[in-house]
Structure 1
Amino acid sequence: MHIDEWLQVIPVGWLYATVALVIGLESLGIPLPGEIVLVSAAILSAKGVVSPVWVGVCASAGAIVGDSAGYAIGRKGGRPLFERLGRRFPKHFGPRHVRRAEKYFERFGVWAVFVGRFVALLRILAGPLAGALRMPYWKFAVANVLGGIVWAGGTTTVIFYLGLVAEKWLKGMSWAALAVAVAFGIATTLYLKRRAASALDESDLKGVVRGPVDV
C-alpha cells in the first residue's frame, strides 16, 4: 500500500498527527520520508479528504519542534554524536554527508537552516548540526520557524491549488497530452536533481569544519 493510500484510510485526526510526527522525527535527525508524507497529505487535501490549513499547520509544527529538538541533541552530543551516527547509519550520517552539510553552514551560516528545510540532506542534519556547531539559538530559532512555515505551508498550498487546477485540466485533456506533461515533469525533476548533486560535489570540503559557527 502506498503512503497516500495508507493515509487515506486512517481517521482524519490521526492523519494530522501522523504528518506532524513523521516530519518532526525527520527534522530531529531520523531518516523518515517526511516530504513524501507532506505531499501525500496535501494531495488528499486537494481531493477534499482533509483540510489544507490543518495539514500546513501540523507539518509546520512538526518541522519546527523536530528541528529544535535536534538542535538540543546536537548541542549536547557535539561532534562525537555524528561520529557515532556515521558508524551506525553511513548512508545518512557518513563523513561525506556531514562534510557537505558543514560546507553549507560555513558558506551560508544561519541561512543554511532556512534553506536546509528544502534540501533532503540538510533537512535531517540541519538541527543537530547547528547545535553541534554552537550556532546561537535565537538565530537558529528564527531561521527554523521561518523555514518550517515556508516549506510546509508553501508545499501544501502549491500542491493543493495545483491539484484543483489539474483536476479541471484532466477532464478535457487527452491521454497523449497527459503523457507529454508527465514526461516533461519527470525530465525537469531529474535535470534539477543532477544540477543540485553537481553543485554539492563541487562544494565538498576537503576537511571538516573545526570551530563553532559564527554568524
Structure 2
Amino acid sequence: MPETLQHIMTEMTPWLQQYGYLILALAIAVEGVGIPAPGQSLLIVASLLAATGQMSLPLVLMVAGSSAFTGNSLGYLLGIKCGDIFIEKGWIKESTEIKLHAFIGKYGVIALLLSRFIEGLKQTIFIGCGMAKMPFHQFLIGNTMATVLWLTLFGLGPILISEELTPILTFYHHHQQLFWLVITVFGIIGLILFSVILKRQRAKIAND
C-alpha cells in the first residue's frame, strides 16, 4: 500500500474501529456547518476497510452521503437564520463573507461543486450560500450534485484505484485550483452548449 495512504489508514482506522459509522457520520456532517473535521479522510479509510470486509460498503456510502447532504443543508439554514450573528460575533469575517458572496454570485450552483473539494472553502460555502440567500431550489440541485460527485470520488474511488491513490492525491493537493478551474471551464462550456441547443430546439418548435 502506498506510504501516504498507509499513513491515513494508520491514523484513521482506530477511530473507525472504536466508533464505527457514528464517527464517520459526525465528522462529515459537521464540516457542512463550518467545523473542520477529517470527514474526507475517514471516508477514504472506511471505503478501504469495506473492501476488506471490515465495514459494509453500502452502509459507508449511505452514511457518508446522507451526512454530507444533511450537514450541508444545516449549514445553508444557519447561514439564512444566523448569518448576521456570525458576523457580529466575529465567527465569520466580513472579508470572508464578501469573498463568499462574490464566489457564489459568479459561479452559482457550480460553486457548490467546486467548494466540496477545497479545504477551507468546503467548510464555509454552505453557510455562505444561506447568507447570500441563494434560492433553495438552486442550493438543492448544487448540494445533490456536489454530494454525489464527492461520494463517488472519495467513497468508491479508493477501492477502484487504491494502488494509484497516492500520486493522484498528491497531484490533487498541489494543483487543486488548476484542477477545478479546468473542470469549471469544461462545465461552463457544456452548460453554454446545452443552453444553445435548447434554445434552437425551442425556436424550431415555435416556428413549426
Q: Same fold, TM exceeding 0.5?
A: yes
Matches within 5 A, 1:18-97: 18-86=23-91, 93-97=92-96
Cα separation, 2, equivalents of 1:52 and 1:70: 27
Q: CA RMSD in A?
A: 3.0
Deviation at 1:159, TM superposition (A): 0.5
Cα distance, 1:2–1:82 mapped onto 2, change above 3 Å? farther
In 1, are the aligned partners of 2:16 and 2:24 still within 8 Å (CA)? Answer: no
Please give the secondary structure, in 2, of the residue aligned with 1:113: helix
In the alignment, what sits opposite 1:136?
Answer: 135
In the alignment, structure 1 residue 116 sits paired with structure 2 residue 131: no
In the alignment, what sits opposite 1:7?
Answer: 15
In the alignment, what sits opposite 1:151?
Answer: 150
Cα distance, 1:98–1:38 mapped onto 2, change above 3 Å? farther
Deviation at 1:96, TM superposition (A): 4.8
What TM-score do you get using the length of structure 1 for normalisation? Answer: 0.68
Cα distance, 1:190–1:64 mapped onto 2, change above 3 Å? closer
Deviation at 1:15, TM superposition (A): 1.6
Where does structure 1 lack aligned partners over 5 or more consecutive residues? 87-92, 170-180, 199-215
Residue 174 of structure 2, aligned match among 170, 191, 195: 191
Cα separation, 2, equivalents of 1:190 and 1:118: 10
Deviation at 1:47, TM superposition (A): 2.9
Cα distance, 1:80–1:194 mapped onto 2, change above 3 Å? same
Cα distance, 1:190–1:31 mapped onto 2, change above 3 Å? closer
Cα separation, 1, equivalents of 2:17 and 2:128: 36
Deviation at 1:74, TM superposition (A): 0.8
Paired residues, what number?
Answer: 174
Identity, % of aligned positions: 23
